[in-house]
A and B are shown apart, each in its own frame.
Chain A
């Protein structure tokens, strides 16, 4: 029985069927892929560009580019990881156009660890996000992540917001796994430090 099971090839995933159909010219199949991933691509694009119009353009351009280049997609990685790589490149290109005075690169080398060392050690209130309305919280989180270098916030959004694995993030960004881990640690620590002023336990907060 075991030997028979070993011979049975894994059935193609729904995604790979859609990709194959789209590659053969089925626009409806490609539309299904758009519906599946457009929200993710939009979030990633807005996190990187920090600009709504740019994010809209990135979503359109990334899907169009994916469609045009489906023939080059080998199926060795997941379609989504491949799409994310295209979207990240488009988003960084937009950011460079908007901020030509600043070098924007995913490969930027961070020479010091000082930027991420915790300076303020303060415990937070329980459920700190509940101290704010949804709109206030979104404003705080948006402003806070905007202060990170693009290479840090890109890694953070792929790993911690979109839930890609470290390996998938490395593949999407064409970085090594240690480089992803290093950026992720610094991104997490810097965000934590910056959120302290909003979330730290206030005097008189007696909840456990």
Chain B
């Protein structure tokens, strides 16, 4: 197996979504190819770091404000009173899509 073949299979290998035979071939390659071993490990770390990063968490205060806005807009849509809302992008979409 060449390194380029290993790379092509890397995503399936990391996701453990491959047949046992292909997996064994990749692991045999990893036994002797230090470069692929490093790329495999650091790619795995990349995924884990992003997954655990809590990047872009929604702060409670903003969450509460967004909830209020969503529910108000939904109520307006339900009651067909969206025309009384001030103009912004969300309400524009209500008007575009509303059957009222």
Contact = CB atoms under 8 A, between A and B. Distances in A.
B10 interface: yes
Contacts of A64: 70, 73-74, 77, 90, 93-94
A34 B10 CA distance: 36
A31 B50 contact: no
A43 B56 contact: yes
B81 interface: no
Interface string A133-160: 0000110011001000000000010001
A162 B81 CA distance: 36
B39 A59 contact: no
B16 to A, nearest CB: 12
Interface residues of B, number: 44
A175 interface: no
Contacts, number: 135
Contacts of B49: 128-129, 137, 141, 195
Contacts of A61: 89-90, 93
B58 interface: yes
Contacts of B46: 188, 191-192, 195
Interface size class of A (residues with CB under 8 A): 35 or more
Nearest to A127: B45
A65 interface: yes
A76 interface: no
Interface stretch (A7-15, A99-107, A115-123): A115-123
26 contacts: A30-B71, A31-B67, A34-B67, A38-B67, A42-B56, A42-B58, A43-B55, A57-B90, A60-B73, A61-B89, A63-B70, A65-B97, A118-B7, A118-B39, A128-B45, A138-B54, A141-B50, A141-B53, A161-B51, A163-B51, A166-B17, A185-B10, A185-B11, A188-B10, A189-B10, A189-B43
Interface of B: 7-8, 10-12, 14-15, 17, 35, 38-39, 41-43, 45-47, 49-51, 53-58, 62-63, 66-67, 69-71, 73-75, 77-78, 89-90, 93-94, 97-98
